[in-house]
Structure 1
Amino acid sequence: MDWFIQQTFAVTIAIILDRVFGEPRRFHPLVGFGLCASRVQAYLNQGEHRFAKGIFGWCILVVPFAWGAGVIHWSLPTVGAVGLSAVITWFSIGGKSMQQHAQAVARPLQAGLLEQARLRVSYIVSRDCESMNEQQIASATVESVLENGQDAVFGAIFWSFCLGPLGGVLFRLANTLDAMWGYRTEQYRYFGCFAAHMDDVLGFVPARLTALSYCLCGQFRLGWQCWRTQARQCASPNGGPVMCAGAGALAIIIGGPAQYFGKLKDKPFMGCGKTVTGPDIERSCQLLWRAQLLWLAVTWSFVILWAWLG
C-alpha cells in the first residue's frame, strides 16, 4: 500500500503540473528520443529481416531508458522517489497539450476559417486533411482527443501506478514508436509490426479503463452501449473502445470514411446521437479532464480509506 500511496502523490503532482504548465516547451526528452528513433529507423529499416530489425530497434531504444528510470527510482529515498516519479509522469502525459491543439482547431473552425482549421487538424492526425469539410474536421479532432486520452494520459498514469517511472517511460516510449513506426505501409509493414503490437499489449488495460471513465463522466448508458456494440468494428483493438465509449458518452456521431495517404479508408461511424460539430471539440476536452479528476478521486478515496481503517 505504501507504493500505491507514493504513486498517488506522484500522479497527483504530475496532473497538476500538466494542468498548470502543460508539456515542457524546451528540452522535452521525447524530442530527442524522436530524433534517435528516426536515425535508428533509417539505418535498420532496409534490406532483409526487417521484422527482426524492428524488434532490435525497439529494444535498444526503449529498454535502456525504461530500466534506467527504474533503477534510479528504486535507489532514491521516499521523497526523492516520489519527486522523480512525478516529474517523469508529467513528461509522459500531455492532457493540456492535447486540449491546446484541439482548441487551435476549434477556434478557426467556429469562425468559418476552414483552411486554417484544416492546417491545424493536420498537426494532430495522420489522415489527408486538404479537402475536409467542417464535420470531418470536427470529427477528426474529437477522435484525436478521445484516443489520445488513453495514449497521452491514462496509459502513462496506469503504468506509473504499476511500475513507477519504469512503467511510465516504457509506455510513453512504446507509444511514441508506434506513432512513428506503426503504419501498415510498404515502408513500415514489417519493421514497425513489433512496435504496433507492443503498443496494443501495453494499452489493452488502460484503454478499457479509459473507456469506462468516459462512460462514467458522460452519458453512461449511451457510452456503454456504443462501446459494447461498435468497438469490434474498429481496426484498433484499443482505440475502438475508447472512441466508441467517448462518442457515446458525448451523444455524438464521429468517424466514417477518411483519406489516408491518398487512399480512402472505410472507417466505421462511432457513437450515437447528433452529428459532431465544432463546439463538440471543447466538450471532448472537458470529458477528458473530468476523467482525470475521476481517476484522482478514486485513487485518493482508496488512500483515505486505507488510512482510516489503519
Structure 2
Amino acid sequence: MSLIVIVLALLIEQVRPMPVARWVLRPLGRLATYIEEKLNDGRLNSGVAATALLVVSCTGATWLIYGLLESVQPVLAFAFSLLVLYMTMGVRHESHYFTDIHVALRLGELSRARMLLGEWSGRDCEAADSSEVTRLAIEQALVSAHRNVYGAIFWFILLPGPVGAVLYRVSSFLDLHWGARQDEEFGRFGEASRAWFGWIDWLPVRLTAFSFSVVGNFEDAVLCWRTQSGLWMNRSSGILLSSGGGALGVRLGLPRHEAGQLVDRPEMGCGDDARIEFMQGTVGLIWRALCFCLLALALIGIASWVAH
C-alpha cells in the first residue's frame, strides 16, 4: 500500500503542485520561532528540548490521527497518508527554480539566472558567471531532490502511515531553520537539530547516493563518493554532490563567488566543467533514480507477497 500512496502522491503533485511554502513551511516557521523565543537560552540543552518538543509533537499528532482513522475506516487512513505525503514530499517543491534558471541561461539572461539562484539558495550570486551558476544550480538540485523526495520516501516506508514523512520533513526543516545558524547570539541552540537530522539522514543519504550511482556512471560515482565526500564541510551534502557529480560526469564544488570574495571549496565529482547541457542531464538522473527506488520497492513488495 505504501508504494501506491507514493506513486499517487507523485502523480497528483505533477498535476497540481502543493504550495508548500504556504501550507507547510510558513506554519512550521511560525511554530519554530515561537518555541525558539520561549526556550532558547543559547545552551545545547535548550536546543535538545526544543527539537524534541517540535519533532515529538508533530509526529505524535500525525500518529494519533492516523491511528484513529485506521480504527474507524482504513480508507480514511489511506486518504490521510496520501494527503500528508503530498504535503511533505514532492519533486516540484523547488524544481521550478531549477527550470527557470535553465531557461534563463538558455536565453542568455545571466542576471535573471543569478537572481533566481540567489532566491533559491539564499546566497549572493551576483558575481557568478554562466558556468558557476550552472554548477551551483546542479548542486542545489541534487541536495533538494534528496531532502524533498528520497529521504521522505525512506522514512515513509519505514514507519507506520505518514509518521515517517512528517518526522523527516520536520527534522529537515529544523536543520535548515536552526541547525544552519552560526551566529554568536543564537549560541549552541541549533546544534541539537543539526545532530538529530544528521542521525536520521545517515542511511537515506547513502541510499540516494547509491541510486545516483546505479542510474549514472557507477564507477566514477562510487570513486568520487569514496575519495571526495569527506572533504565537504557537510558530510551528507558531500556524499550527494560527489556521487551525483561522478554519476553525471561533471565537476561540482570548486571555488565560488560570494559577497565579493572567492570562497574556496573542494572539487566534487569528475569530468567536464559545468555547462548548460548538464542541467537536463541532472533532471534525467533525478528521475531515473526515483524510478529505480520505486522499482526496488515494487520488487520487495512482490517478494514479500510471494513469501507469504
User: For 1:236 and 1:285, how far apart are their aligned partners in 2?
Assistant: 23
Question: How far apart are residue 107 of structure 1 and its match?
Answer: 1.0
Aligned match of 1:128: 124
TM-score, length basis structure 1: 0.90
- Say which of 247, 253, 258 aligns to 2:256: 258
Question: Is 1:304–2:297 an aligned residue pair?
Answer: no
Matched, 1:14 2:9: yes
Which is worse superposed, 85-94 or 178-187?
178-187
2:64 equivalent to 1:71: yes
Structure 1 residues 174 and 25: alpha-carbon distance in aligned structure 2, compared to 1, 3 A threshold: closer
Structure 2 unaligned residues grouped into runs of 5+: none
Aligned to 1:37: 32
Q: 2:51 aligns with which of 48, 51, 58?
A: 58
Query: In 1, distance between residues paired with 2:101 and 2:187?
Result: 31
State the distance in 2 between where 1:69 and 1:158 align: 17
Matched, 1:167 2:164: yes
Residue of 169, 177, 180 corresponding to 1:180: 177
The residue type paired with residue 111 of structure 1 is: L
Output the amino acid matched with 1:35: R
* Matching residue of 1:99: 95
**Aligned sequence identity (%):** 28
CA distance in 2, matches of 1:196, 1:76: 33
What's the TM-score once normalised by structure 2's chain length?
0.91
Aligned to 1:3: none
Change in 2 beyond 3 A, CA 1:189/1:155: farther
1:239 lines up with 2:237 in the alignment: yes
Q: Deviations over 1:110-144 (max 9, x none)?
A: 22211111110012213321211111111111001
Amino acid at match of 1:90: Y
Shift of the 225–25 alpha-carbon distance from structure 1 to 2, 3 Å rule, reads closer
Q: Is the 8 A contact 1:88 1:165 kept in 2?
A: yes
The number of residue pairs the alignment matches comes to 303
Offset, 1:291: 1.2
Q: Which amino acid aligns with 2:108?
A: G
Name the stretch that deviates more: 232-241 or 187-196. Answer: 187-196
Residues 212-291 of structure 1 aligned to structure 2 (within 5 Å): 212-259=210-257, 265-291=263-289
- Which AA in structure 1 matches 2:90? G
Kindly provide the CA deviation profile for residues 162-194 of structure 1, in whole angstroms up to 9, marking residues without a partner as x: 113221111101111111122233344512111
Shift of 1:28: 1.4
Relative to 1, partners in 2 of residues 1:149 and 1:63: Cα closer, same or farther, differing over 3 Å?
same
Counterpart of 2:146 in structure 1 is 150
Q: Is the 8 A contact 1:127 1:259 kept in 2?
A: no
**Which shows bigger deviation, 212-221 or 17-26?**
17-26
Is contact 2:156–2:162 with CA below 8 Å preserved after alignment? Answer: yes
Shift, 1:55, TM fit: 2.1
Q: Structure 1 CA distance, aligned partners of 2:264 and 2:60?
A: 40
Structure 1's unaligned 5+ residue stretches are 1-5
Mapped partners of 1:113, 1:27: distance in 2:
29
Provide the rounded CA distance (Å) in 1 between the counterparts of 2:235 and 2:109: 35
Residue of structure 2 in register with 1:205 after alignment: 203
Distance 1:309-1:49 versus aligned 2 partners, 3 A rule: closer
Secondary structure of residue in 1 paired with 2:188? coil
Contact 1:62 1:170 in 2 (8 A): yes
* 1:250-288 per-position Cα deviation (integer Å, ceiling 9, x unaligned): 100011123556775422111111101122222212211
Q: Deviations over 1:13-59 (max 9, x none)?
A: 222222332223685133211122234334544xx443222222222
Report if the CA contact (8 A) 2:127-2:257 is conserved: no
CA contact (8 A) 1:149 1:210 kept: no
Aligned partners of 1:100 and 1:15: how far apart in 2?
Answer: 15
SS in 2 for 1:13: helix
For the Cα contact (< 8 Å) 1:23–1:97, is it kept in 2?
yes
Is the 8 Å Cα contact of residues 45 and 189 (structure 2) preserved in structure 1? yes
Residues 118, 125 of structure 2: 8 Å contact kept: yes
Q: Distance in 2 between matches of 1:62 and 1:139?
A: 34
Superposed CA RMSD: 2.0
Output the CA distance in 1 between the equivalents of 2:264 and 2:164: 35
Q: Is residue 182–residue 188 contact of structure 1 (8 Å, CA) maintained in 2?
A: no
